[in-house]
Amino acid sequence: KQEVTQIPAALSVPEGENLVLNCSFTDSAIYNLQWFRQDPGKGLTSLLLIQSSQREQTSGRLNASLDKSSGRSTLYIAASQPGDSATYLCALTGANSKLTFGKGITLSVRP
């Protein structure tokens, strides 16, 4: 059974800092990995999708990497802003097409 871990559960950084959010998983037999953002009381916004055959994806200030052999993914946020404050979740799609989520990292960027 796939297990997805995101540590730490919460993170507070000053504005402008570059930061890395980590995600680890136990089963490397995946179709893809997605990073999502969730604002309080809202649905999920897809940030980046990395296919199983890919190593990384970039969108603006965000860069996500995938290393299946070590069971890890990272989301890099450059020059963080207060508007980046949210909960970030990683999720993997397995052979059953279901998404398995981590518990998320709640990020607070201080002005």
Partner 1 sequence: GAVVSQHPSWVICKSGTSVKIECRSLDFQATTMFWYRQFPKQSLMLMATSNEGSKATYEQGVEKDKFLINHASLTLSTLTVTSAHPEDSSFYICSARQDTNTEAFFGQGTRLTVV
Pick the closer one to partner 1 by CB: 42 or 55. Answer: 42
| C-alpha span between 82 and 84 (Å, rounded) | 5
CB of 50 vs partner 1, minimal distance in Å: 10
Interacting residues toward partner 1 by CB under 8 A: 31-32, 34, 36, 41-46, 49, 51, 89, 91, 93, 97-99, 101-104
| C-alpha span between 3 and 63 (Å, rounded) | 23
Task: List the structure tokens of 59.
Answer: 């969108």
CB of 6 vs partner 1, minimal distance in Å: 9
CB of 73 vs partner 1, minimal distance in Å: 15
Pick the closer one to partner 1 by CB: 12 or 14. Answer: 12
Pick the closer one to partner 1 by CB: 28 or 111. Answer: 28
| C-alpha span between 88 and 103 (Å, rounded) | 9
Query: CB under 8 Å to 60, separation ≥6 — which residues?
Result: none
CB of 16 vs partner 1, minimal distance in Å: 27
Closest C-alpha to 60, from 47, 45, 50: 47
